Amino acid sequence: MLLLLPPSEGKTAPRRGAAVDLDGLSSPGLTPLRRKVLDALAEVSARSDAATVLGVGASLEAEVARNVQLSTAPTAPAARVYTGVLYAAAGLDRLTAAQRRRAHESVRVVSGLWGVVAPGDAIPAYRLSMGTDLPGVGPLAAAWRDALAAELDPRAQGDLVVDARSAAYLAAWHPPRGTAWVTVRVERDTDGVRQVVSHHAKHTRGVLTRHLLTRRARLPRTADELARAARELVGPELVDVELGPAVSRGARTLTLVVA
């Protein structure tokens, strides 16, 4: 199983730790582009219009300013740097040793700065969305597309891709045709009317992530096995699980219905 997550918008900045070692991150084939994006981000973040270019509000100017020093900033495992609703529920920083190995093998966070990182990769906190048109690089989803295809296409071959990414990050890589690919959707049932939810969707995707990593059974290898694993969570909060047929590019949709 290859489980893809979006990064969190909010991140916890490490107070101490070594500087980022680009050559030491997983997926070393991405190093040249990581370095290019990192340098371009530092340059843009030093500009007076940095917040506007990066598409953030004035309240985040301190985080944007921190981008200037990313190459020397303290790092921590991505599982601790990424915070927010999804990651609080997933608890990637609260796994046993065996569960951490499972996460390292199967979980990748798709990032506008790093391309993809594993939960154990040591990174600094940063502010950059995949939807950014970064001067010197261009629209990030397009910039990462070929590099991520070279990295992830072989990994996805013959495996189950469980995709919990948001639309901006989905644009950076699609599994090759023929891949067993399942996107995760969350809906709320209100008096028989289904509605897509946002905040609760992040939490529910995090709950599913933790369940897949901590349950005693093997990781799912097919869409049907994934659906059966998800149904183990049905209760007061998650009331139904539906697995749809293959549609565009062969993707199937796993719908998690919350109360």
The continuous run of DSSP H or E covering 39 comes out as: helix 31-45
Q: How confident is the model at residue 250, as a pLDDT?
A: 84
**How far is residue 82 from each of residues 75, 173, 225, 254, measured CA to CA in Å?**
12, 21, 28, 24
pTM value > 0.85: yes
Per residue in 99-116, pLDDT (tens digit) is 999 999 999 999 999 999
Q: How confident is the model at residue 188, as a pLDDT?
A: 93
Per residue in 157-192, pLDDT (tens digit) is 999 999 999 999 999 999 999 999 999 999 998 877
Question: Does the structure show a pLDDT above 80 at 50?
Answer: yes
Question: Does the structure show a pLDDT above 80 at 96?
Answer: yes
What mean pLDDT comes out for the span 40-67? Answer: 95
Kindly provide the b/e burial profile for residues 93-122, where b requires at least 16 CB atoms within 10 angstroms of the residue's own CB: bebeeebbebbbebbbbbbbbbbbbbbbbb
Question: Does the structure show a pLDDT above 80 at 249?
Answer: no
Q: 112: closest CA among 97, 92, 127, 95?
A: 127
What does residue 47 show for φ and ψ, rounded to 5 degrees? -80, 155
Q: Which residues contact 255 (CB under 8 A, 6 or more apart)?
A: 185, 186, 187, 240, 241, 242, 243, 244
Question: Across the chain, what does the average pLDDT equal?
Answer: 96
Q: 9: closest CA among 153, 181, 168?
A: 168
Running DSSP on this structure, what letter comes out for residue 234? B
The rounded percent of the chain whose pLDDT value lies above 70 is 100
Q: How confident is the model at residue 195, as a pLDDT?
A: 86
Q: How confident is the model at residue 196, as a pLDDT?
A: 85
